[in-house]
């Protein structure tokens, strides 16, 4: 059926139509019979072309019909055969390219922190708070983001704002510092009450709470010296009752490292590791100890022994630096 229609459209009807046009052109005027015959042939060509053109290429139907009618009227004998042949040839010669094979993508880098705690970079917050020419609203917004930043990093910025000329910033910074201090004081007082009645674990809790007060830089001057003394006092008591507690040995190492006693810090960290403290958590303290001793070869060895995926996002840049050859 398609072959017969193709022969009619591409050979027979164009030849008849061309003969009619040549005969009419030789006369002095075009007769009505020649016009009717041309119209009949054009109609037949339109029907055959619509039949031969693939269904996907017939849409939109009205525009396709208008195109066929225009070709039949303005380009008799060659318009419709050319259009239909081009459409048919385009379908026959089309080659569908095979989709490329799937690529194996590297695993995405995930952060081990809560996303909200790293929504604002410390550099941007520090820049806004330190610039007195920044709009007060922008500085206030930056100050509020410190609530989602670890207290150890936020306390220094908050103390710098206590002398800020903007009163709202001063009051808010003071309130945030006081709130954190009250939180720790409340926990310390509760632990002291338990310690007075002979609680077995109160000394351990007090040692960590006083160290948190120092670590978060919430204790200054004489208060800091007092807190250091309390850390040593309750740490000695807790270790006397629990000499094989790895967490207490880590605290002992941090306390000694903070006081510059590198030998005691090394002994404490090694003891904590021997008692089963995770090497991943212990590595930053060992690296800090090696750096304080200026033992850079030991630092490189420490970081090279730890896989990058085992470290959090803060430690990874340090590991990449010290692990490179």
Q: Name the nearest CA neighbour of 147 among 124, 125, 164.
A: 125
Residue 308 scores a pLDDT above 60? no
Residue 205 scores a pLDDT above 70? yes
Residue 241 lies in a domain: no
* Alpha-carbon distances, residue 261 vs 208, 225, 230, 257, 258 (angstroms): 19, 16, 18, 6, 8
Q: Cβ(257)–Cβ(280) under 8 Å?
A: no
Please give the average per-residue pLDDT across 19-35, as a whole number: 60
Residue 176 scores a pLDDT above 70? yes
Residue 190 scores a pLDDT above 80? yes
Q: Cβ(217)–Cβ(243) under 8 Å?
A: no
Tell me if the pTM is above 0.75: no
Residue 66 lies in a domain: yes
Q: Cβ(142)–Cβ(120) under 8 Å?
A: yes
* % the chain with pLDDT above 90: 16
Quote the mean pLDDT of the chain: 75
Residue 317 lies in a domain: no
What's the pLDDT score for residue 78?
Answer: 60
Whole-angstrom Cα distance, residue 257 to residue 234? 18
Residues in the chain: 325
Residue 290 lies in a domain: no
Whole-angstrom Cα distance, residue 283 to residue 310? 11
Instruction: Show Cβ contacts of residue 319 under 8 Å, excluding neighbours closer than 6 positions.
Output: 303, 306, 308, 311
Residue 155 lies in a domain: no
> Which one has a higher pLDDT value, 205 or 83?
205
Whole-angstrom Cα distance, residue 219 to residue 150? 16
Instruction: Show Cβ contacts of residue 19 under 8 Å, excluding neighbours closer than 6 positions.
Output: none
What's the pLDDT score for residue 73?
Answer: 66
Residue 83 scores a pLDDT above 90? no
Residue 63 lies in a domain: yes
Whole-angstrom Cα distance, residue 287 to residue 296? 9
Residue 271 scores a pLDDT above 70? yes
What's the pLDDT score for residue 2?
Answer: 52
Domain that holds residue 61: 2-87
* Alpha-carbon distances, residue 85 vs 53, 144, 310 (angstroms): 8, 72, 66
How many domains are contained in the chain?
Answer: 1
**How sure is the predictor about 40, in pLDDT bands with cuts at 50, 70 and 90?**
confident
What does the pLDDT look like over 221-270, one tens digit per residue?
888 899 999 999 999 999 888 889 999 999 999 999 888 899 999 999 99
As given in the structure block, the two tokens for residue 116 are: 């909200």
What does the pLDDT look like over 42-81, one tens digit per residue?
776 666 666 666 666 666 767 776 766 676 666 666 665 6
Residue 21 lies in a domain: yes
Sequential DSSP letters for 66-133: HHHHHHHHHSTTTHHHHHHHHHHHHHHT--PPPPPPPP-PPPPPPPSS-GGGGSS-HHHHHHHHH-TT
Residue 42 lies in a domain: yes
Whole-angstrom Cα distance, residue 109 to residue 87? 51
* Burial category of 101 from C-beta neighbours within 10 Å (exposed 0-12, middle 13-18, buried 19 and up): exposed
What's the pLDDT score for residue 310?
Answer: 60
What's the pLDDT score for residue 62?
Answer: 74
> Which one has a higher pLDDT value, 1 or 211?
211
What's the pLDDT score for residue 7?
Answer: 45
What's the pLDDT score for residue 142?
Answer: 76
- Dihedral sign computed on CA atoms, order 29, 35, 37, 38: positive
């Amino acid at each position: 059926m398609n072959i017969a229609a193709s022969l009619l459209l591409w050979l027979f009807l164009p030849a008849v139509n061309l003969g009619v046009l040549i005969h009419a052109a030789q006369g002095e005027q075009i007769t009505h019979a020649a016009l009717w015959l041309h119209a009949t042939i054009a109609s037949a060509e339109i029907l055959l072309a619509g039949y031969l053109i693939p269904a996907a290429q017939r849409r939109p139907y009205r525009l396709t019909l208008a195109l066929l009618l225009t070709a039949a009227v303005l380009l008799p004998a060659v318009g419709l055969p050319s259009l239909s042949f081009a459409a048919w040839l385009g379908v026959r010669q089309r080659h569908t390219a095979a989709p490329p094979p799937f690529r194996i993508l590297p695993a995405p880098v995930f952060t081990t922190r809560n996303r909200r705690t790293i929504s604002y970079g410390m550099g941007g917050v520090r820049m806004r708070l330190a610039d007195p020419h920044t709009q007060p609203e922008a500085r206030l917004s930056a100050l509020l983001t410190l609530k989602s930043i670890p207290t150890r990093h936020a306390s220094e910025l908050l103390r710098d704002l206590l002398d800020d000329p903007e009163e709202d910033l001063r009051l808010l910074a003071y309130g945030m510092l006081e709130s954190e201090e009250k939180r720790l004081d409340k926990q310390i007082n509760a632990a002291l009450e338990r310690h007075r009645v002979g609680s077995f674990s109160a000394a351990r809790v007090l040692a960590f709470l006083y160290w948190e007060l120092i670590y978060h830089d919430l204790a200054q001057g004489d208060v800091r010296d007092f807190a250091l003394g309390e850390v040593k006092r309750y740490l000695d008591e807790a270790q006397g009752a629990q000499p094989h507690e790895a967490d207490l040995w880590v605290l002992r190492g941090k306390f000694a490292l903070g006081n510059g006693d590198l030998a005691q810090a090394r002994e404490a960290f090694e003891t904590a590791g021997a008692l089963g403290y995770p090497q991943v958590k212990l590595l930053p303290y060992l690296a800090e100890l090696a750096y304080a001793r200026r033992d850079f070869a030991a630092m490189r060895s420490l970081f090279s022994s730890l896989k990058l995926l085992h470290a959090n996002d803060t430690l990874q840049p340090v590991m990449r630096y010290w692990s490179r050859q």
